[in-house]
Amino acid sequence: MELMSQAVRDALVSGYEELIAGLSLPDPNDRHVLAAAIRCHAQLIVTSNLDDFPAAELSKYGIEARDPDSFVVDQIHLAPARMYQLITEQAAALGDPPMTVDDVLDSLARNGLLQAVALLRAQRESF
């Protein structure tokens, strides 16, 4: 948590606990996620578990749920060169074992970011 707090200001959300009981989700164990999103005025929950975050329930709070691949695709469309730069920096930072940009992209694809990886590879020459 310390690294997250250092990297992202206000990464930790507090004071959401009292909201949990009043929320209704298919999996009650996910209510804390929605409660924290409400408390910090988030617009988006990024999750692979979309079925547990129904749009009808989230829309009551002005929140949307997106899968990670769609979220990253959106970020690529917003700042394609910056996203490719981040992948390049990640590859350079990984040294045990060393990784290339293609290694990082392959890893992202194996973890479900198929559309994002395809988009980055297709646009690679323009960066």
Beta bridge partners of 66: 46
Burial 1-26 (b: 16+ CB within 10 A, else e): eeeeeeeeeeeeeeebeebeeebebe
C-alpha pair distances (Å), 59 with each of 19, 20, 29, 63: 16, 16, 19, 5
Task: List the chain domain ranges.
Answer: 2-66, 70-126
Full-model pTM? 0.86
Q: Is the pLDDT of residue 41 over 90?
A: yes
Provide the CA 75 distance to its chain's centre, in angstroms. Answer: 10
pLDDT tens, 78-112? 999 999 999 999 999 988 888 999 999 999 999 99
Q: Is the pLDDT of residue 2 over 80?
A: no
| Angle, CA of 24, 30 and 31, to the nearest 5° | 45
